[in-house]
Amino acid sequence: MIIALDGPAAAGKGTLAKRLAAALDLAHLDSGLLYRATAAVALERTVAPGDAEFIDASGSLQPGDSARNGLHSNAVATAASKAAALPEVRAALLAFQQNFARTPPGGKAGAVLDGRDIGTVVCPDAAVKIFVTASAEVRAKRRCLELQERGEDAIYQRVLQHVRERDRSDETRPVAPLKPASDAVLLDTSALTPDEVFEKAMAIVRSRSAG
């Protein structure tokens, strides 16, 4: 079984993906980490990477790269958003994601993949597609809390601005823009606790797998 979770930054996809994978004994791939790793590798090679450096980095990713430190910094997030707009980078990362879905590691019977284009491009035949979203304000608040828990400075207005800029860049890029698949179920988490989000997602999974 393939579960595709898509949606904007900090909508709660990551937490939900981990919980679904654990509850259903499926493998989990956070595809955003592949774009972040591409950005981090390119940034390590040069301070202001351009298209060529991002493309080169995406083609030479090593298995350990998506477990690097510092992948959640603002600098990496901004560079990842630029890298994600390049068709060559997306093509280089597509095969890895589709392979993961087709042959999940650990002999699992399926996988949960979370990202921006899983239901539309990576796994258009996924049995379950959920588009997880929340207002920009709620997502910025959650992101601030996350940063503070990690001991980093977080100024709400700045984080909100950053969230909106990334949304714009992810939604308006010509290749694989962030949008719900036509057969995705929308799940707005703005007013929900993580437990409520999980319960609603499980109900969607049950109804989709029954049908």
- CA 32/CA 84 separation, integer angstroms: 9
Q: Is 31 in the site for ligand DC (CB under 6 A)?
A: yes
* Interface region with ligand DC, contact rule CB under 6 A, candidates 45-53, 101-109, 113-121, 179-187: 113-121
Among 37, 84, 112, 159, binds ligand DC (CB under 6 A): 84
**Is the Cβ–Cβ distance between 54 and 39 less than 8 Å?**
yes
- CA 9/CA 54 separation, integer angstroms: 21
Residue reference for tokens 């499980």: 202
Give the CA distances from residue 122 to residues 44, 76, 77, 160, 170, in Å, rounded to whole numbers and listed in that order: 28, 23, 21, 29, 16
Q: Is 104 in the site for ligand DC (CB under 6 A)?
A: no
- CA 105/CA 27 separation, integer angstroms: 7
- CA 42/CA 56 separation, integer angstroms: 8
Nearer to ligand DC, 145 or 210 (CB): 145
Shortest distance in whole angstroms from residue 128 CB to ligand DC: 16
Contacts of 171 (CB under 8 A, 6+ apart): 177, 178, 179
Q: Is 53 in the site for ligand DC (CB under 6 A)?
A: no
* Interface region with ligand DC, contact rule CB under 6 A, candidates 31-39, 52-60, 143-151, 187-195: 31-39
139-198 binders of ligand DC (CB under 6 A): 166, 170
Among 37, 41, 80, 123, binds ligand DC (CB under 6 A): 80
Shortest distance in whole angstroms from residue 176 CB to ligand DC: 6
Where does this chain bind ligand DC (CB under 6 A)? Answer: 9, 31-32, 35-36, 80-81, 84, 115-118, 166, 170
